[in-house]
């Protein structure tokens, strides 16, 4: 019996999990990407791009495509799809796993200031420095645009779609990043405060080490409140083991 798996992705973990599952004779895996990045890194195997239209749309998709297993490996800050996945799985009775990498933890020498959301981060930045390196993504950029007296170096994957004030400089890049390059970037632009989300993982954590080495404060935007999920995993191996258990019961 073949098991159809819908893998909500867009993260490095999702791509790694897809690679571990695609090619198995007992599973068909479809990776779904939100489509918010113009040229996303694609996982191996079948891929669909675009939203579902909320809970009802995802529920309908699960039914129409006869999905047997739902794995949500989206970004820790993808609140809407995470909530939709929980409710759609409940509505259809489809086994559901949330795969989410652990957040970052501060260590000796770190000067982190944790805040609950982007608005709080924007409020704090001027009190910590006059030249900020903002790495919270294109979609959250509006929170920082009122800071006309603070120079902002903004790193994004895709170019912002709205006009930006003169105090904002944009660089387009995507991880993984290396410590030496991150240190050189912050030094060259005379950065005195780093702004980031608690994304976790290794792809972008070099900026934290660079800030530590340079003695810079870091404004760390906490993850949104977690949605209750019956089964969660923080590692690829645990997700595969869970799927093996589901397969054994079918």
| Strand ranges of the sheet holding 131-134, from the earlier edge strand across to the other edge | 112-115, 218-221, 193-197, 131-134, 151-156, 168-172
Do 40 and 72 lie in one domain? The reply is: yes
Across the beta sheet with 46-49, the strand order is 46-49, 27-33, 3-8, 69-72, 96-99, 232-233
Same domain, yes or no: 91 and 119: no
Q: Are residues 178 and 239 in the same domain?
A: no
Q: Are residues 86 and 170 in the same domain?
A: no
pLDDT at 200 over 80: yes
**Token pair recorded at residue 148:** 């006309």
- CATH number for the domain harbouring residue 40: 3.40.50.720
Asked if residue 7 lies in contact with residue 65, where contact means CB atoms within 8 angstroms, the answer is no
Total domain count for the chain? 2
- Does 93 lie in the same domain as 124? no
Q: Are residue 55 and residue 139 in the same domain, yes or no?
A: no
- Non-local (6+) Cβ contacts of 100 within 8 A are 13, 73, 76, 232, 233, 234
* 11 lies in some domain: yes
Section 196-211 average pLDDT: 96
Query: Do 147 and 194 share a domain, yes or no?
Result: yes
67 with 118, same domain?
no
Summarize pLDDT for 109-147 with one digit per residue, the tens. Answer: 999 999 999 999 999 999 999 999 999 999 889 999 999
Q: Is residue 107 part of a domain?
A: no
Residues 14 and 75 in one domain: yes
pTM: 0.90
Q: Note down the domain range covering 85.
A: 3-102+225-249
Q: What share of residues in the chain are helix, strand, coil (percent, to 5)?
A: 35, 20, 45
Integer Cα distance of 7 and 173 in angstroms? 26
In a domain, 168, yes or no: yes
User: Does the structure show a pLDDT above 80 at 37?
Assistant: no
First to last CA, the chain: 8
Beta strands at 112-115 and 96-99: parallel, antiparallel or unpaired: unpaired
Predicted pLDDT of residue 236: 95
Do 116 and 215 have their domain in common?
yes
């Amino acid at each position: 019996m073949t098991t159809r798996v819908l893998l909500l992705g867009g993260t490095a973990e999702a791509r790694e999990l897809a690679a571990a599952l695609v090619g198995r004779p007992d599973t068909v895996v479809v990776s779904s990407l939100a489509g918010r990045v113009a040229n996303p890194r694609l996982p191996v195997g079948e891929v669909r791009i675009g939203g579902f239209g909320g809970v009802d749309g995802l529920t309908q998709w699960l039914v129409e495509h006869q999905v047997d297993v739902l794995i949500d490996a989206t970004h820790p800050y993808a609140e809407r799809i995470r909530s939709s996945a929980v409710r759609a799985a409940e509505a259809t009775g489809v086994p559901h796993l949330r795969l989410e990498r652990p957040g970052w933890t501060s260590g000796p020498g770190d000067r982190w200031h944790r805040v609950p959301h982007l608005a709080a981060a924007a409020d704090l930045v001027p009190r910590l420095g006059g030249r900020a390196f903002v790495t919270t993504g294109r979609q959250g950029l509006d929170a920082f645009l009122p800071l006309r007296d603070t120079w902002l170096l903004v790193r994004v994957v895709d170019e912002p779609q709205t006009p930006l004030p003169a105090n904002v400089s944009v660089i387009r890049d995507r991880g993984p990043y290396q410590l030496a390059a991150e240190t050189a970037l912050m030094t060259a632009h005379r950065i005195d405060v780093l702004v980031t989300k608690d994304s976790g993982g290794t792809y972008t954590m070099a900026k934290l080490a660079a800030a530590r080495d340079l003695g810079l404060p870091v404004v760390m935007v906490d993850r949104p409140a977690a949605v209750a999920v019956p089964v969660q995993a923080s590692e690829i191996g645990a997700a595969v083991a869970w799927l093996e258990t589901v397969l054994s019961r079918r």
